[in-house]
């Protein structure tokens, strides 16, 4: 029998492409350095800003001193954690910049009440490490654990548990350092007007010092992945996922290769392990499931995903691999909630002098999901956008935060793009973003304020009609505009 082999020219060509891409990838890692430490970037590196001074807030006293110094010298203050917001929320020109990443201690923990109090520089990974031995887990966090709690609170993030809305639902209280130097306790019953303003307020009202969060049980889940037509996804979700007490986590992905652009969807659901299954597990098996797992195969995954930035066949390869490991994955694979909430993220780290990755997010009412997907496809094709990934998460209605993005039950579409640094590339993405925002607004949706400042003044006011009253409240609590960032500078009518 004659065995078919790949033509030698094709093999050589593939090896050359692989070697060239590997060289580019290696070169990109050497470009991480930002020689001017006062030139501050967010993770996208698109809009750097020169600040005046960096203060590392390691103790409360040093943060208070920084605020006092700014007040006495009439300086603006900007605040940052891990700098993953991409709309200039974490810096401002010539400001005194407080780096909260070193303010990262666990303040209090109550196993019985299932609460934890942490300083705002603590990351979700820090919390997971601390509470995992007690078989507890967080209720709401992003799909990665690398972000700071203060930054997450300031952005009012949401997660992948369909039983919870945005982070504000799980916050009991926090302490806020005001411009005057006063420290306030803020909750739903104490200084309550500030509670919905600061959560999702992007650091414009003061410095969040520490936060008390509600926790939940670190349940064991069985992960199941199902392929479904994206037109049928909303109905399927409403019937099988929403309000299902057995569901712990849920998300979906849409295809991005050109020949399948936003045509295929598979969804992954983590269901609680039933008593019959849990009883069948031995102590040794449970002991293997509960420890936290670190991310594996980072270099391999980074290389493979990197191919999708530059080649459509790379996108097709990534999608095929995702289907193999998820859509055709093992049945009855058991995982703890904490480990399910520690998905791979390091492989997405990308530093290139030529281009960068950005995120955007659109909240679309459940019934309008498929129509938005169709309109999004047209925009991606028309504007020739380099779309790398689309993740879908459910966000139940919650309007507690002043700048709420979940006034309806919505699907959040998280879009991951690659774009160049040139003025032309930035302008192209700005114009495309405005088209996507219009598409969302037409369908009674919204966009997430955490990302680029591309939407127009009219668009932000249509999406968030309370934005001007929000800015008025900022002036009420911070009349000297001590706490500043580029988001406020861009959209506030002053």
**Domain ranges across the chain:** 101-218
What is the pLDDT confidence band of residue 118, given thresholds at 50, 70 and 90? Answer: very high
- CA torsion through residues 127, 207, 50, 417, sign: positive
End-to-end CA, the chain:
79
- What percentage of the chain has pLDDT greater than the value 70? 88
The top-level CATH class assigned to 101-218 is alpha beta
Window from 86-100, 156-170, 386-400, 451-465 with minimum mean pLDDT: 86-100
Q: pLDDT value at position 34?
A: 44
Q: pLDDT value at position 42?
A: 76
Q: pLDDT value at position 120?
A: 96
Q: pLDDT value at position 275?
A: 61
Q: pLDDT value at position 279?
A: 60
Report the pLDDT averaged over residues 144-148.
87
Q: pLDDT value at position 281?
A: 76
Q: pLDDT value at position 382?
A: 97
What would the two tokens of residue 218 be? Answer: 């670190």
What is the pLDDT confidence band of residue 250, given thresholds at 50, 70 and 90? Answer: very high
Which residues have C-beta within 8 Å of that of residue 160, sequence separation ≥ 6? 143, 249, 250, 251, 341, 393
Judge whether residue 40 has pLDDT over 60.
yes
Q: pLDDT value at position 16?
A: 42
pLDDT tens profile 410-426: 999 999 999 999 999 99
Closest by CA to 458, choosing from 475, 441, 471, is: 441
Torsions phi, psi for 44 (to 5 deg): -80, -25
pLDDT tens profile 298-345: 788 888 888 889 999 999 998 888 777 665 544 567 899 999 998 766
Q: What is the mean pLDDT of the chain?
A: 88
CA 97 to chain centre: 22
Q: pLDDT value at position 343?
A: 75
pLDDT tens profile 344-381: 666 567 778 899 999 999 999 999 999 999 999 999 99
Q: pLDDT value at position 289?
A: 83
Closest by CA to 161, choosing from 40, 340, 37, 35, is: 340
Judge whether residue 21 has pLDDT over 70.
no
What is the pLDDT confidence band of residue 7, given thresholds at 50, 70 and 90? Answer: very low
Q: pLDDT value at position 200?
A: 96
Report the pLDDT averaged over residues 170-189.
97
Residue 124, Cβ density class (10 Å: 0-12 exposed, 13-18 middle, ≥19 buried): buried
| Contact of 351 with 31, CB cutoff 8 Å | yes
pLDDT tens profile 152-162: 999 999 999 99
Report the pLDDT averaged over residues 281-286.
75
Judge whether residue 26 has pLDDT over 70.
no
Report the pLDDT averaged over residues 64-69.
96
What is the pLDDT confidence band of residue 17, given thresholds at 50, 70 and 90? Answer: very low
pLDDT tens profile 445-456: 999 999 999 999
Q: What is the pTM of this model?
A: 0.89
How far apart are alpha carbons 425 and 421 in whole angstroms? 6
How far apart are alpha carbons 412 and 252 in whole angstroms? 10
Report the pLDDT averaged over residues 84-103.
86
Q: If DSSP states are collapsed to H, E and C, what string results for the chain? A: CCCCCCCHHHHHHHHHHHHHHHHHHHHHHCCCCCCCCCEECCCCCCCCEECCEEEECCCHHHHHHHHHHHHHCCCCEEEECCCCCCCCCCCCCCCEEEEHHHCCCEEEEECCCCEEEEECCCEHHHHHHHHHHHCEEECCCCCCCCCEHHHHHHHCCCCCCCCCCCHHHHEEEEEEECCCCCEEEEECCCCCCCHHHHCCCCCCCCEEEEEEEEEEECCEEEEEEEECCCCCHHHHHHHHCCCCCCEEEEEEEECCCHHHCCCCEEEEEEEECCHHHHHHCCHHHHHHHCCCCCCCCHHHHHHHHHHHHHCHHHHHHHHHHHHHHHHCCCCCEEEEHHHHCCCCCHHHCCCCCCEEEEEEEEEEEHHHHHHHHHHHHHHHHHCCCEEEEEEEEEECCECCCCCCCECCCEEEEEEEEEEECCHHHHHHHHHHHHHHHHHHHHCCCEECCCCCCCCCHHHHHHHCCCHHHHHHHHHHHCCCCCECCHHHHHHCCC
């Amino acid at each position: 029998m004659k065995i078919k082999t790949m033509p030698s020219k094709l093999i050589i060509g593939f090896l050359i492409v692989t070697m060239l891409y590997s060289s580019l990838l290696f070169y990109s890692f050497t470009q991480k350095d930002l020689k001017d430490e006062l030139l501050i970037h967010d993770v996208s590196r698109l809009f750097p800003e020169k600040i005046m001074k960096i203060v590392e807030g390691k103790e409360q006293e040093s943060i208070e001193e920084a605020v006092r110094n700014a007040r006495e010298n009439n300086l603006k203050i900007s605040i940052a954690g891990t700098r993953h917001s991409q709309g200039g929320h974490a810096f401002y020109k010539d400001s005194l910049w407080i780096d909260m990443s070193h303010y990262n201690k666990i303040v209090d923990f109550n196993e019985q009440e299932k609460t934890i109090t942490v300083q705002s520089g603590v990351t979700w990974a820090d919390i997971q490490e601390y509470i995992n031995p007690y078989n507890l887990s967080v209720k709401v966090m992003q799909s990665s654990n690398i972000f700071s709690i203060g930054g997450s609170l300031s952005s009012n993030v949401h997660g992948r548990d369909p039983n919870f809305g945005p982070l504000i639902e799980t916050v009991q209280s926090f302490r806020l350092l005001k411009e005057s130097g006063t420290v306030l306790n803020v909750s739903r019953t104490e200084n309550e007007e500030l509670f919905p303003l600061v959560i999702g307020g992007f650091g414009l009202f003061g410095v969040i010092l520490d936060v008390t969060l509600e926790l939940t049980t670190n349940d064991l889940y069985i992960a199941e992945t199902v392929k479904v037509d994206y037109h049928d996804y909303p109905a399927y979700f409403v019937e099988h996922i929403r309000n299902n007490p057995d569901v712990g986590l849920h998300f979906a992905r849409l295809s991005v290769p050109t020949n399948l652009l936003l045509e295929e969807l598979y969804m992954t659901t983590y269901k609680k392990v039933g008593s019959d299954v849990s009883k069948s597990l031995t102590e040794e098996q449970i002991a293997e499931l509960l420890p936290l797992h670190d991310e594996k195969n980072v270099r391999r995954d980074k290389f493979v995903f990197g191919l999708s930035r530059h080649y459509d066949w790379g996108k097709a390869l990534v999608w095929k691999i995702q289907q193999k490991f998820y859509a055709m994955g093992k049945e009855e694979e058991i995982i703890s909630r904490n480990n399910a909430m520690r998905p791979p993220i390091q492989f997405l780290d990308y530093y290139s002098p030529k281009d960068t990755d950005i995120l955007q997010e659109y909240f679309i009412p459940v019934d309008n999901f498929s129509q938005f997907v169709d309109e999004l496809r047209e925009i991606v094709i028309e504007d020739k956008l380099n779309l790398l990934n689309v993740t879908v998460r459910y966000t139940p209605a919650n309007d507690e935060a002043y700048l709420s993005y979940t006034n309806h039950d919505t699907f959040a579409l998280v879009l991951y793009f690659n774009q160049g640094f040139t003025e032309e590339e930035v302008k192209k993405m700005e114009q495309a973003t405005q088209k996507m925002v219009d598409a969302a607004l037409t369908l009674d949706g919204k966009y997430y304020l955490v990302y680029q400042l591309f939407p127009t003044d009219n668009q932000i006011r249509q999406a968030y009609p309370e934005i001007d009253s929000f800015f008025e409240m900022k002036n009420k609590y911070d009349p000297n505009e001590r706490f500043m960032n580029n988001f406020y500078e861009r959209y506030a009518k002053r």
